[in-house]
């Protein structure tokens, strides 16, 4: 009902706007020029000497049929995607150059999107955000100075749509395999009275998932109002989403896949009183997130420009979980006893909840005149988060149970401020230098109880974190435009990053995590003419105390990391495109890399937590394939368009010990896209199409977890291993229709 009501309102807005739509083309031109003001200073340019890829709105929309943003970016160099549900909808992640999501800085209009504590961006919380984006820039490596957590592998810089200066409306519908569907409606008033514009979007996405019960129910909206004068623009953006997904983060072992099938999902599994295997139907993750942004651009004169933003984000939600045979003492509850006085475990249902607020502001001033291009500014953000748990049901509890019985409660506070100055200078018309320095201060406090029981104290683990970090991150670059077709560039960057919440709450042997440091060296060459483009980028990323993935996960499927003193990532990225005729284009990317821990020592434990220290020497870094490649053929003829894309990802170790029984096998997956565009009367555009994913039905896994322990057998220590794998869907398809007015 709410969707229908909002749709009716938007339709009315568009209808009314035709009567007030401005016809003064000079006025429109003046206002539109403000869209080109550099709203943010964290975008890379040719002069910054860094490796980056721009993805236009047109490219995004061709692929945007319901899958999450990581899958829309998957054809960029060195990028790998993962999906818990196996379809690219729900919980998905993006890795670049082998670095995980906690090291990829993501901003929208310069505002950080990464969670302040985990440093992750849960794309499921912002469903169909791609439908409201102007473009996306991915910077690989340390990149330019940005807001939020430091970039240790890449930055994803997103800009929202420009205001629409003409009335418009559009609809997109998608349906296909696994009951996957998407409905999106968007409308804009156009320019009203030469100054005002309003537009909005509503989206609904759902899927049953490939993995058993891995369903997703996602809703989102985006609204934008803008005011334009001759030299100033003010935008107010409010957007958000609601997600409900069934847990699928347990993955499955090879043995489970052989016994139950590749789609087996153990989440929510329990045994009823009659000995039958059941699955809890409300084993769901539910989260709401609301974003508000006020964006201001002002042009003082031909040389000086100002941009500023205020923002506020609120998020709240929980995940509900059936826990069979649990020790009630660990939840602050009284356990039942048998006739001999022995404790009896019991089934229970718990909720882990979060309630977060994130707010701040940023501002920057840009100066451009002659050979100089300078920007300076800063940002300050504050985060307040509540983490708490509730037991809502116990199977055979003796006595009265509070329906919201609390068993842990903690609060977190984080202040994050930075100042920067950056600029480029043209030494000659062909040669320019770039410099960038950022100072960043972080204070982070956690107080209260963790969600883990400490048997030594008989209480939940106490949290008492009070950390302060000060980072200075200089960067420099050189760009040489040899001629119209050839270009050389180089850059050096320092990046530093604080540990995440999990590094404190999951730390082993009470070892405090250390901040990380990256020295990033990049050297690149590009060639471009009328029909072809080629590029090569060499990188060496030298880490101190890198928090690398261990292969292990916590009880809610979050990947765990640990410091290693010295490690590196060395590689070469190749890109190419060829368009010999108007109707054909060939795009290709390939990355070879060597990712190593210089001197790795592993510690295994037995059931009594007795350590076994194993020295391995140089080992490959987990989840870092040596080879990745993308190939895409695009054919366009009149209203027809067809594209065949293929991605190859080499084998990956899931731990840092180099164990071959804990690997993800290499895989190669192809997708086929077909579409036809109509231009009927009174309709701007009508597009019909179908996309076939995993065209050749490859059986593969793109994510997982692994770990080891040891047992003592006949006086000898014997290594024991375990692993879980995220199986992905075989061949599947989505049909789609889109209409624009």
First-last CA distance in the chain:
24
Write out pLDDT tens, residues 207-219: 999 999 999 999 9
Strands (E), 64-210: 79-83, 92-96, 104-108, 111-112, 133-140, 154-160, 168-176, 180-188, 196-207
% of residues, the chain, pLDDT over 90: 80
Would the pLDDT of 450 be above 70? yes
* Range with the poorest average pLDDT among 137-146, 275-284, 314-323: 137-146
Antiparallel, parallel or unpaired: β 154-160 and 104-108: parallel
Q: What is the mean pLDDT of residues 173-185?
A: 98
Contact present, 89 and 67 (Cβ < 8 Å): yes
On the question of pLDDT at 47 being above 90, the answer is no
Please determine, for residue 524, whether its predicted confidence score (pLDDT) is greater than 70.
Answer: yes
Give the pLDDT mean for 405-421. Answer: 96
What is the DSSP secondary-structure string of 547-606? Answer: EEEEEEE-TTSPEEEEEEEEEEEEEEEEEEEEEEETTEEEEEEEEEEEEEEEEEEEEEE-
For tokens 């107080």, name the residue: 447
Q: What is the number of other CB atoms lying within 10 angstroms of the CB of residue 38?
A: 16
* Residue 470, both tokens: 């000060």
Average pLDDT, integer, range 33-52: 70
Of 99-113, 150-164, 350-364, 562-576, minimum mean pLDDT range = 150-164
> Which pLDDT belongs to residue 554?
65
Are 712 and 610 contacting, i.e. CB atoms less than 8 angstroms apart? no
Residue 28, pLDDT > 90, answer no
Residues 634-649 have pLDDT tens digits of: 999 999 999 999 999 9
Query: What local confidence, expressed as pLDDT, does residue 153 receive?
Result: 83
Q: What is the 3-state secondary structure (H, E, C) of 166-187?
A: CCEEEEEEEEEHHHEEEEEEEE
Buried b (16+ CB within 10 A) or exposed e, 685-716: eebebebbbbbeeeebbbbbbbbbebeeeeee
Query: For residue 507, what pLDDT band results from cuts at 50, 70 and 90?
Result: confident
Token pair belonging to 371: 């050979």
In this prediction, residues 298-325 reach a mean pLDDT of 96
The four Cα atoms 160, 162, 163, 165 give a dihedral, to 10 degrees, of -160
Question: Which whole-number Å values give the CA distances from 648 to 77, 624, 645, 696, 698, in the listed order?
Answer: 12, 13, 10, 13, 12
Report the share of the chain in percent with pLDDT over 70: 93
DSSP assignment, residue 230? Answer: S
CB-CB contact of 649 with 631 (8 Å): no
Confidence of residue 340 (pLDDT cuts 50, 70, 90): confident
CA atoms within 13 A on the CB side of 369: 6
pLDDT score at 164 = 87
27 pLDDT tier (thresholds 50, 70, 90): very low
Neighbours of 728 (CB within 10 A): 26
At residue 545, the pLDDT reads 92
Contact 573, 51 (CB under 8 A): yes
638/640 Cα distance (integer angstroms): 6
Q: Indicate the range of 19-33, 49-63, 242-256 predicted with least confidence.
A: 19-33
Distant-in-sequence, close-in-space partners of 660: CB < 8 Å, separation ≥ 6 = none
- DSSP E strands in 582-700: the ranges are 584-605, 611-620, 627-637, 640-649, 652-653, 663-664, 667-678, 685-693
**pLDDT > 60? residue 13:** no
What is the model's pTM? 0.92
From 22-31, 142-151, 505-514, the region with the lowest mean pLDDT: 22-31
Instruction: Name the β-bridge partners of 446.
Output: 412, 465
pLDDT digits (tens, 9 = 90+) for 588-625: 999 999 999 999 988 888 888 888 989 999 999 999 99
| One-character DSSP codes across 363-380 | EEEEEEETTEEEEEEEEE
Of 332-346, 369-383, 387-401, the least confident: 332-346
Mean pLDDT of 57-86: 95
pLDDT for residue 35: 54
Kindly state the average pLDDT of the residues 270-287.
95
Q: What is the pLDDT of residue 360?
A: 97
Q: Which of 39-43, 83-87, 118-122 is predicted with the least confidence, judged by mean pLDDT?
A: 39-43
Contact 450, 479 (CB under 8 A): no
Q: pLDDT, tens digit, for every residue of 281-311? A: 999 999 999 999 999 999 999 999 999 999 9
Contact 627, 652 (CB under 8 A): no
pLDDT for 553 equals 65
3-state secondary structure of 126: coil
Q: Which architecture does CATH list for 2-740?
A: Beta Barrel (2.40)
Q: How far apart, in whole angstroms, are the C-alpha atoms of residue 210 and residue 736?
A: 20
* 556 pLDDT higher than 70: no
- What value does the mean pLDDT of the chain take? 91
List phi, psi (to 5°) of 735: -95, 150
Higher-scoring residue by pLDDT: 558, 272: 272
- Give the pair of three-digit tokens for residue 308: 């500023």
Mean pLDDT of 538-558: 81
- Give the C-alpha distances (Å, rounded to integers) separating 365 from 290, 298, 301, 501: 28, 10, 12, 33
Beta-carbon contacts of residue 254 (< 8 Å; ≥ 6 apart)? 723, 725
């Amino acid at each position: 009902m709410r969707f229908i009501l909002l749709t009716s309102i938007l339709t009315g807005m568009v209808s009314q706007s035709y009567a007030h739509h401005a016809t003064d083309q000079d006025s429109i031109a003046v206002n539109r020029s403000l869209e080109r003001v550099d709203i943010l200073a964290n975008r890379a340019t040719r002069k910054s000497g860094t490796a980056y890829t721009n993805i236009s709105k047109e490219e995004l929309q061709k692929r945007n049929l319901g899958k999450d943003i990581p899958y829309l970016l998957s054809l960029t160099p060195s990028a790998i995607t993962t999906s818990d549900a196996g379809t690219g909808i729900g919980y998905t992640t993006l890795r670049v150059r082998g670095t995980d999501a906690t090291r990829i800085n993501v901003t929208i209009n310069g505002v950080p999107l990464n969670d302040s504590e985990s440093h992750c961006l849960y794309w499921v919380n912002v469903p169909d955000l791609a439908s409201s984006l102007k473009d996306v820039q991915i910077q690989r490596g340390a990149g330019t100075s940005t807001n939020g957590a430091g970039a240790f592998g890449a930055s994803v810089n997103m800009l929202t749509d420009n205001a629409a200066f003409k009335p418009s409306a559009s609809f997109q519908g998608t349906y296909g395999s696994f009951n996957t569907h998407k409905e999106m409606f968007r409308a804009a008033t156009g320019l009203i009275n030469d100054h005002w514009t309003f537009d909005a979007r509503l989206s609904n996405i759902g899927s049953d998932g490939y993995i058993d019960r891995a369903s997703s129910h996602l809703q989102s909206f985006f609204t934008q109002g803008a005011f334009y004068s001759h030299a100033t623009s003010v935008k107010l953006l409010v957007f958000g989403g609601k997600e409900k997904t069934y847990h699928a983060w347990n993955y499955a072992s090879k043995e489970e896949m052989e016994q139950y099938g590749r789609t087996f999902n153990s989440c929510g599994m329990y045994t009823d009183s009659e000995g039958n295997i059941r699955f809890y139907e409300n084993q769901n993750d539910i989260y709401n997130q609301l974003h508000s942004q006020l964006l201001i651009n002002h042009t003082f004169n031909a040389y000086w420009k100002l941009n500023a933003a205020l923002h506020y984000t609120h998020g709240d939600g929980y995940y509900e979980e059936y826990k069979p045979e649990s020790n009630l003492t660990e939840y602050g509850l009284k356990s039942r006893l048998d006739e001999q006085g022995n404790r009896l475990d019991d089934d229970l249902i718990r909720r882990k909840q979060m309630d977060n607020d994130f707010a701040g502001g940023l501002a920057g001033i840009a100066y451009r005149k002659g050979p100089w291009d300078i920007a300076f500014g800063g940002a300050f953000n504050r985060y307040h988060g509540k983490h708490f748990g509730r037991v809502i049901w116990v199977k055979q509890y003796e006595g009265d149970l509070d329906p919201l019985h609390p068993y842990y409660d903690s609060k977190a506070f984080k202040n994050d401020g930075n100042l920067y100055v950056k600029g480029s200078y043209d030494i000659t018309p062909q040669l320019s230098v770039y410099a960038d320095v950022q100072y960043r201060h972080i204070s982070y406090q956690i107080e209260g109880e963790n969600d883990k029981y400490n048997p030594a104290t008989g209480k939940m683990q106490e949290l008492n974190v009070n950390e302060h970090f000060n980072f200075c991150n200089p960067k420099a670059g050189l760009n040489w435009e040899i001629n119209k077709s050839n270009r050389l560039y180089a850059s050096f960057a320092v990046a530093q990053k604080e540990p995440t919440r999990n590094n404190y709450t999951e730390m082993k042997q009470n070892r405090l995590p250390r901040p990380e440091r990256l020295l990033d060296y990049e050297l690149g060459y590009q060639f471009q003419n009328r029909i072809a483009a080629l590029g090569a980028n060499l990188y060496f990323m030298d880490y101190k105390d890198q928090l690398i993935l261990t292969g292990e996960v916590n009880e809610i499927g979050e990947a765990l990391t640990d410091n290693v003193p010295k490690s590196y990532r060395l590689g070469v990225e190749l890109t190419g495109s060829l368009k010999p005729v108007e109707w054909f284009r060939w795009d290709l990317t390939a990355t070879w890399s060597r990712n190593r821990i210089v001197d790795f020592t592993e510690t295994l434990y037995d059931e009594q937590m007795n350590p076994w220290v194993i020295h391995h020497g140089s080992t490959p870094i987990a989840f870092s394939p040596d080879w990745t490649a993308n190939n895409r053929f695009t054919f366009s003829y009149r209203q027809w368009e067809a594209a065949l894309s293929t991605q190859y990802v080499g084998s990956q170790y899931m731990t840092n010990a180099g164990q071959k029984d804990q690997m993800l096998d290499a895989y190669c997956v192809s997708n086929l896209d077909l579409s036809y565009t109509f231009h009927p009367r009174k309709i701007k555009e009508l597009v019909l199409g179908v996309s076939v994913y995993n065209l050749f039905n490859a059986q593969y896994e793109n994510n997982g977890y692994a770990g080891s322990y040891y047992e003592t057998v006949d006086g000898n220590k014997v290594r024991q291993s375990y692993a879980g794998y995220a199986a992905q869907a075989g061949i599947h398809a989505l049909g789609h229709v889109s209409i624009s007015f």
